[in-house]
Structure 1
Amino acid sequence: MPVDSTEKPLFASKLDAPPRLADAVSEAIAAALFDGRIATGDPLPSEGEIAREFGISKPIAREALRQLSGAGLIQTQQGKVARAKAITGEPLDRIYGYAVRSSLTRLREANEMRHLVETGIARLAAERRDAEGLAMMEEAVREMHAGLGEPDRFTAADIAFHLGMAMATGNAMIRMQVEGMRSVQREVSELFSRRSSRTRADWQATVRRHEDLLAAIRDGEVEAAVQMVDRHYEAADIASFEVAGEGDEGPAGG
């Protein structure tokens, strides 16, 4: 993808003096990905074209692309042009997934983090009430009702609900963060669903908590939305972690 000299350059090719040139090049390309100059699925310039654009060597251009691939921003394949990937929380989700599966301590810590993050998300969602996010939350609640007693289906709907709440803020970075926490939510939900004492009334109570949270956000009741998040996490923590047993730190310890 050669750069037409009559058009605005694809990258900001003037580099500061970085510790490593590859870092500066990868950041310039990432900026083009995040601000939409390179759209999802678009091919990136070749290593040679990147090298000419920035006045660097091909190995440095190759290292910059390797960094972007490792961050999950582009897709590279031997012998094929690199392409932009959809920007999501997938890389963070993998990291959290490793952490929460390593021990109950890490899972508790991650769920505590998620509680704090979602308190702020609920507040902003109730203030902004983005229509797409609200619609996603409403559909997720309907799916929860349909998936009562079906752990996999119910968990998928639960994850969709919280992603919808993030989308209701209208903030793309918040959406990415919540996508990155799906592993945490999935592990907690699976613990919750594995309880031998889990009754239909328990499932229904979980749905009602989500319905109350949705109503508070939809009605713009900011403080009520925050309280609903606190209530939801208090109930979910007790129910989910009791199945693991007090002091059980899992296979990897604390």
Structure 2
Amino acid sequence: MELGYGQINTRSAASQIADQLQQAIIDGRLKVDERLPTEEELAAQFGVSRPTVREALKRLAARHLIRSRRGPTGGTFVSGPSPEELATSLSTSVTLLAATGGSNLDDMAMARLELEAICCRHAAENRTQEHLDELRAELALQRDPSISDQDFCASDVRFHRIIVHAAGNAFLRFLMNAILEVLMPVSNMIIFRVRDRKEIVAYHARMITALDARDPDMAVATLAELIDYIRTQYEKAEEQNGARRS
């Protein structure tokens, strides 16, 4: 099977082959569950040695784009990454971006507000009674003064994840879960000493009221106030840290 690949330079040939095969998967020339040509056939097509092809396939396997199967019907097959693998990869990228200073809290807060606001609007329309019950259960937990900061933060993440799920959009859920699972714990870790749990709980209660009433404007406005509160607490935490360092 000839797929019309481009010419390969001798430098980083394995990487180039892996990239071209990946592009063939992306643009549909190679379908999920389709068997790839053999190493010998690929080597002939690309004009390289079999070890070079083998290294390229290892790179694709590391990206979760192919899988090998033994036996009479075996071979190497296209295997699209699972949603869980994609979410893990995206979360890792977001974590590295935040940890290396590639983005600051204002950037994170703005991105979260814009994306979660869309979720709030759709959740106001699509939420079910089950979603409301789950939100209220988290709110009851957050109102318990005996729970640890770690448990409060975990409940905080779950609360907003429920809203995202209530929006009923699989792609938004994929994007937002990575943001919530990474950015919320980062911001919570910074502000937990200066924030007031009761303030967070009050915002959450108002968001439930808005979703219950199917009022998207109230839900988005409350979310904006919540994120603005988080920004303010972040600045306060930074001031305290600066004072301690001096």
Does the alignment reach a TM-score above 0.5? yes
Asked if the contact 2:97/2:103 (under 8 Å) is kept, the reply is no
Instruction: Answer with 1 or 2: which has the greater Rg.
Output: 2
Whole-Å Cα distance in 2 between the matches of residues 30 and 233 of structure 1? 44
**What corresponds to 1:66 in structure 2?**
62
What is the Cα deviation at residue 29 of structure 1? 10
What is residue 4 of structure 1 aligned with on the other side? none
Q: 2 CA distance for matches of 1:157 and 1:104? A: 27
CA distance in 2, matches of 1:228, 1:240: 18
- Where structure 2 has 5 or more consecutive residues not aligned to the other structure, the ranges are 7-18, 43-52, 69-75
What is the one-letter code of the residue matched to 2:198?
A: Q
Say whether the 8 Å CA contact 2:117–2:220 is kept in structure 1: yes
- Do the aligned partners of 1:25 and 1:64 also contact (CA within 8 Å) in 2? no
Deviations 1:165-203 (A, max 9, x none): 1000111111111111121111111222122xx5xxx21
Superimposed CA distance per residue, residues 114-159 of structure 1 (whole angstroms, 9 cap, x where no aligned partner): 1121111111111211455444323322221236662111110010
2:92 aligned to which of 77, 94, 117: 94
1:95 deviates by 1.5
- Partner of 1:170, secondary structure, is coil
- Listed one character per residue, the Cα deviations across residues 65-92 of structure 1 (whole Å, up to 9, x for unaligned) are 33336xxxx899xxxx989645352222
- C-alpha separation in 2, matches of 1:101 and 1:123: 31
Question: 1:119-138 residue pairs with structure 2 within 5 A?
Answer: 119-131=117-129, 133-138=131-136
Specify which of 213, 222, 231 is matched with residue 228 of structure 1: 222
Residue 63 of structure 1: CA displacement?
A: 4.3
Equivalent pair of 2:24/2:30 in contact (CA under 8 Å): no
Structure 1 length as normaliser, TM-score?
0.66
Amino acid at match of 1:226: V
Q: Is the 8 A contact 2:3 2:29 kept in 1?
A: no
Measured at CA, do residues 23 and 231 of structure 1 come closer, stay the same or move farther in structure 2, by a change above 3 Å? same
Amino acid at match of 2:159: F
Paired residues of 1:144 and 1:207 also in contact (CA < 8 A) = yes
Q: How many residues align?
A: 207
Structure 1 pair 151–131 and aligned structure 2 pair: CA distance change class (3 A): same
Give 1:102 shift: 3.0
Aligned residues: CA RMSD: 3.7
Deviation at 1:51, TM superposition (A): 1.7
Residue 168 of structure 2 is aligned to residue 174 of structure 1? no
TM superposition score normalised by structure 2? 0.68
